[in-house]
Structure 1
Amino acid sequence: MSIDFKQVIAENKEQFYHDLDQVMRVPSVKGTPAEGAPFGEGPKEALEVVMELADRYGFKTEIVKDAVGFAQWGEDEDYIGVVGHLDVVPAGEGWSFPPFQLSKQADRFYGRGVLDNKGPIMACLFGLKLLKDLNIPLKKTIRIVFGTDEESGSSDIPLYLSEEKPPIFGFTPDCKYPVVYGERGIVNYEILTPFAANELEVLGEFVGDQARDHVPDDLSVTINGEKLQVTGKRAPSNAPELGENAITLLAEKITKEHVVSGKLKDYFSWLVASLAEKHTGEGLGIDFSDADSGKLQVTPYELHKKNNQLALSLAIRYPVSFSEEEVTETLKKHLPAESELNVVRRIKSNHFPKENENVQLLAKVYEDATGLDGTPVTTTGATYARFVPNIVAFGPSFPGQKGIAHNQDEYMDETDLLLNMEIYMRGILALTER
């Protein structure tokens, strides 16, 4: 049966936007665990809204351990899986549109989660609904899986896998195109540098929006009664080159204005020399790279006082051919004197054979739908592909699109959102017809 994907999608897009808006309106940021809501009320509410929609579309639905839901078409125990998430990072400040609803201006949609990841995973669900409405026979069972803790460590996945089999193959629409067969290793460090008690008396607390998911863009501190403040540019922590880091900007301001002396001056000078505009580790001796995954990335994301210490947090994403141990041992040699290095988060690299026939099938789907090169790639991001066996990342961002998620005014162009739906419909058909 020949399908005019674009026409079918165009005829039903307004219904899709209406349904997506319902999901977007739930502020599904991780909250305090409650009975029946292990990651807070917001993520659980979003899951219930989606399950109600999927049930209305005619799919079998189920919620596993109050953490993960799925919509299934087919009855086989083995299934093709599409795994996305409904939780989002906090909205933050500086929005031009209401963060928790679907807004449109000049053919562009805005809202927290429209790209990461409510828009793409709902495009998969609605695309599957369109295939079902067309009575397209699928040879394999397909399951759209909705997680609720991807942004905070993916602790929802072990709960799901404790009761459900993993897919025989599948993808997560939560990264970029073409097919992503490898994800770099991630390690977050806290560097604790000690000072004499009187040395830190001149410093107030560092005030600003600092979190591991983004480059901080606003930071201030009071030194000797004088407030110093800087404004940078927010960007995802896996794209530090797209931002202007407020931590290094503040360190530069402190050193240039000579507001500290002695060991404090040495510390902020080290911070500037090691990290200011040095996103690939060259200032710390860890500028590792390889052919498959490119250069290491480093992002300072938090600076604060901790007793008689300054605590600096770094997020590092290292190439797939290197180990965390290599990064750690080299980094130790380039820290301020007497500093302590602690690992606060670690995720090993992930690598799926790019020659796999299903990977190549998705690559062809992408090429057929876009006319672009579908050669599989690697990423600096971290997706469910690290935690769910047998899946790879596939979309939704197209080449050249970077640094949109986790920012103010998160957006997705209407043409891209609809093209994603077409690609995912084609991908589901291709994977279930084999």
Structure 2
Amino acid sequence: MTLNWQQEAAKYKDQMLADLTSLLKINSARDVEHKEDDAPLGPGPRDALLQFLAIADRDGFTTKNVENVAGRIELGSGDEIFGILGHMDVVPAGDGWETNPFEPVIKDGKIYARGSSDDKGPSIAAYYALKLLKDNGIELNKKVHFIVGTDEESEWVGINRYLEVEPKPDFAISPDANFPIINGEKGIVSYLMTFKPVDGADGDMTLVSFKSGLRANMVPQTAKAILTGAMPADFQAKFDAYVADHKLQGTITTDGDQTIIDLIGKGSHAQEPKAGVNAATHLATFLADFALDTKGGNYIGTIARLMHEDSRGHLLNINHTDDVMGDLTACPAVFNYTQDGVATVLLNVRYPKGVTAESTRDGLANTLSDLADVTIDGHAQEPHYVPGDDPLVATLLSVFEEQTGLKGHEQVIGGGTYGRILERGVAFGALPEERENVMHQANEYMHIEDIMNAIAIYADAIYRLTR
């Protein structure tokens, strides 16, 4: 094949940006509270799926909509099915944006919006790779099914339903991570820690509520505590000093007899908690130095003592390292406490080979035996690895090297992509390894240059894998 993939990809820049903008304008975060008969995951995920399929219909592809939770775009023919697995849902926008997260802004060669890098930007790159092949009349000897889900950030309802009723690809890539390749993904599990009732006297201050976190797969960016009782005279000064020392932002306000503390850290993807600044554990660490009521003090003290700045789970006694897959990571992600009600923490763990969701739960339960009950929240995903000598991995690394001039190598991540849903599935791009990863963060963006390069890389990869 003598086609210059980069030159061909460049022809689509303006149209690609217009289509990407139309997708980014849709707030497609899961919203089951507003689900409808034709929108089981909420109007946003449905609308983004319909828009993506409409783009493909406009360009003459054969498409299929699976119950408004997943869809397919088809190209090629043959006995084997090569899958491309993307998603149109996004995590909630959260706070801290400098622009409207659903009004895309192009600045300094970047497009800013929620979903720009996870996963609407990479998915549109893979789509335009297919369009490039179709427009050039290139014959593919395998079927290509571009499968689009709408619940990747939560429970995978869309992709799981698709695989129940539609043909499963024989092998696949997911454009939902980094180049050069992700051929290993750690196991993923969340644990709900429900604190046990405690007896004791009131302190100088009573913790009325403590709230933080949006999703299990996000480091919480903001945290709020409400207190009553007599504040120490130096409370504000100590708070200001803590905020300054740790480069945070925060305020203390009053409402009647309540003191309200808001703290802002830095949100990030839970796969690497050290990439963020956990507002909740910082706020707990600050409050732990003061005399709180027994229930509130037990909750706050446990968070400060066992969960603050310990991304590898050493304090919780669940740390583990595998030579290939690396460290277990632990991210305290969602906090919910009320004085007369619940006291919970949702801990998100990414675990390598050598431990299981159950063995890690048992370790947590042992550490917290006097403090909290520990249960697995939802469904655990097992570690996934495709060997480097698999032809899928070898071909993709060869394409990457030829298109970029860089040396390819295997990678394992703590994130979870649709690549793990197939035995021969990997994540492939679209974020260059050297770029900052701003997925799940405020002011998420993607370099337009990277989207254009990804179109060429994907087109070459699809061509070689379907010859």
Contact 2:200/2:295 (8 A) holds in 1: no
Aligned equivalent of 1:292: 324
Contact 1:180/1:379 (8 A) holds in 2: yes
Q: 1:169 aligns with which of 171, 184, 187?
A: 171
Q: 1:84 aligns with which of 77, 86, 111?
A: 86
Q: Tell me the distance in 2 between the aligned counterparts of 1:422 and 1:381.
A: 25
Q: Tell me the distance in 2 between the aligned counterparts of 1:2 and 1:159.
A: 40
**Would the alpha carbon gap of residues 333 and 208 (structure 1) be closer, same or farther in structure 2, given more than 3 Å must change?**
closer
Aligned equivalent of 1:48: 50
Query: How many residues end up aligned between the 2 structures?
Result: 432
Q: Does 1:241 align with 2:245?
A: no
Q: Tell me the distance in 2 between the aligned counterparts of 1:339 and 1:98.
A: 40
Contact 2:81/2:169 (8 A) holds in 1: yes
Q: Tell me the distance in 2 between the aligned counterparts of 1:220 and 1:102.
A: 29
**Would the alpha carbon gap of residues 263 and 23 (structure 1) be closer, same or farther in structure 2, given more than 3 Å must change?**
closer
Q: Tell me the distance in 1 between the aligned counterparts of 2:293 and 2:161.
A: 52
Aligned equivalent of 1:4: 4
Q: Tell me the distance in 1 between the aligned counterparts of 2:323 and 2:405.
A: 25
- After superposition, the C-alpha distances for 1:235-283 in whole angstroms (9 at most, x for unaligned) are 1111210111112111111123x13265654553332232221111111
- After superposition, the C-alpha distances for 1:269-305 in whole angstroms (9 at most, x for unaligned) are 3322322211111111122001111111011112222
TM-score, normalization: structure 1?
A: 0.93
Aligned equivalent of 1:392: 426
1:176-195 map, 5 Å: 176-195=178-197
Gaps of 5+ in 1: none
What letter matches 1:251 in structure 2? A
Residue 205 of structure 1: SS of its match in structure 2? strand
Q: 1:374 aligns with which of 385, 405, 408?
A: 408
Q: 2:117 aligns with which of 90, 115, 118?
A: 115
Contact 2:76/2:139 (8 A) holds in 1: no
What letter matches 1:213 in structure 2? N
Q: Kindly state the Cα deviation for residue 352 of structure 1 after the two structures are TM-superposed.
A: 2.2
TM-score, normalization: structure 2?
A: 0.87
Aligned equivalent of 2:259: 226
Gaps of 5+ in 2: 229-257
Q: Tell me the distance in 2 between the aligned counterparts of 1:216 and 1:48.
A: 31
Aligned equivalent of 1:280: 312
Contact 1:26/1:100 (8 A) holds in 2: yes
Q: 1:206 aligns with which of 205, 210, 217?
A: 210
Contact 1:43/1:87 (8 A) holds in 2: yes
Q: Kindly state the Cα deviation for residue 222 of structure 1 after the two structures are TM-superposed.
A: 2.0
Q: Tell me the distance in 1 between the aligned counterparts of 2:141 and 2:78.
A: 10
Aligned equivalent of 1:39: 41
Contact 1:175/1:395 (8 A) holds in 2: yes
Residue 153 of structure 2: SS of its match in structure 1? helix
Q: Tell me the distance in 1 between the aligned counterparts of 2:436 and 2:186.
A: 17
Q: Kindly state the Cα deviation for residue 82 of structure 1 after the two structures are TM-superposed.
A: 0.5
**Would the alpha carbon gap of residues 118 and 164 (structure 1) be closer, same or farther in structure 2, given more than 3 Å must change?**
same
- After superposition, the C-alpha distances for 1:97-155 in whole angstroms (9 at most, x for unaligned) are 22124320011111111111111111111121112111222222212111111112111
Aligned equivalent of 1:332: 365
Q: Kindly state the Cα deviation for residue 318 of structure 1 after the two structures are TM-superposed.
A: 0.8
Q: 1:140 aligns with which of 134, 139, 142?
A: 142
1:323-362 map, 5 Å: 323-335=356-368, 337-345=370-378, 346-362=380-396
- After superposition, the C-alpha distances for 1:142-191 in whole angstroms (9 at most, x for unaligned) are 12111111112111122211221111211010122222222111121111
Q: Kindly state the Cα deviation for residue 197 of structure 1 after the two structures are TM-superposed.
A: 6.3
Aligned equivalent of 2:291: 259
Moved more, 378-387 or 216-225: 216-225
Q: Tell me the distance in 1 between the aligned counterparts of 2:40 and 2:25.
A: 20
Q: Does 1:27 align with 2:27?
A: yes
Contact 1:172/1:393 (8 A) holds in 2: yes
Provide the aligned C-alpha RMSD in A.
2.1
What letter matches 2:353 in structure 1? V
Q: Tell me the distance in 2 between the aligned counterparts of 1:299 and 1:332.
A: 16
Q: Kindly state the Cα deviation for residue 364 of structure 1 after the two structures are TM-superposed.
A: 0.9
Aligned equivalent of 2:335: 303
Contact 2:188/2:348 (8 A) holds in 1: yes
Q: Kindly state the Cα deviation for residue 226 of structure 1 after the two structures are TM-superposed.
A: 3.1
Q: Kindly state the Cα deviation for residue 35 of structure 1 after the two structures are TM-superposed.
A: 1.8
